[in-house]
Amino acid sequence: MVGLPHFLIVSAILFSIGVFIMITRRHGIMMLMGLELILNAANLNLIAFSRYVETGIRGQTFAIFVIILAAAEAAIALAIILSIYTHSAKINLDELTSMKE
C-alpha cells in the first residue's frame, strides 16, 4: 500500500539528485536545472503532507507560491546568465573571475 513515506522518499531522491547536479555541473543553465529539481522536491513534499497529514488544502496553496517563486527566479537567473554570456562569452560559472568588464 503506497502511502506518505513513498512520496517522501521519491521527493528525497529528487532533492539529492538536484544537489548532485548543482555540485558537479558548472554550466549555468545546468545549475538552474538542479535548482528546479530541488524546488520540485519541496513541492512534492508539501502536497503529500497536505494529502496525508493535514487533509486540507493549505499545503497546496503554499506549493502555488513556491511555483510562483520558481518562475520568477528562473526568469531572473536566465537573464543574468544571458547578460554574462553576451559580456564575456562564458557559460561555465567557474571561469568567471571578475565582476566587471
Partner 1 sequence: MFDFIFFVFAFVCVGSALFVAFTPNVVHAALGLASTFATLAGFYILLGADFLAITQIAIYVGGILVLMLFGIMYTHNIARVSGEQVMMQVGPALLVVVLTLFTLVATILSTAWPAKEVGPPQPTADRIGVLLLTDYLLPFEVAGILLLVALVGAVVIAQTPVRKSIEESID
- 13-32 residues in contact with partner 1 (CB under 8 A) are 13-21, 23-30, 32
CA 18 vs. chain centroid, Å, equals 7
Q: Should residue 96 be labelled a site residue for partner 1 when binding is judged by CB under 8 A?
A: no
- The vertex-64 CA angle with 19 and 1, nearest 5°, equals 70
Bridge partners, 92 (sequence order): 27
Which grid cell is 90? 562564458
CB of 51 to partner 1, least distance (A): 4
Q: Should residue 88 be labelled a site residue for partner 1 when binding is judged by CB under 8 A?
A: no
Q: Should residue 89 be labelled a site residue for partner 1 when binding is judged by CB under 8 A?
A: yes
Interatomic CA distance for residues 43 and 21, integer angstroms: 18
Q: Should residue 81 be labelled a site residue for partner 1 when binding is judged by CB under 8 A?
A: yes
Q: Should residue 78 be labelled a site residue for partner 1 when binding is judged by CB under 8 A?
A: yes
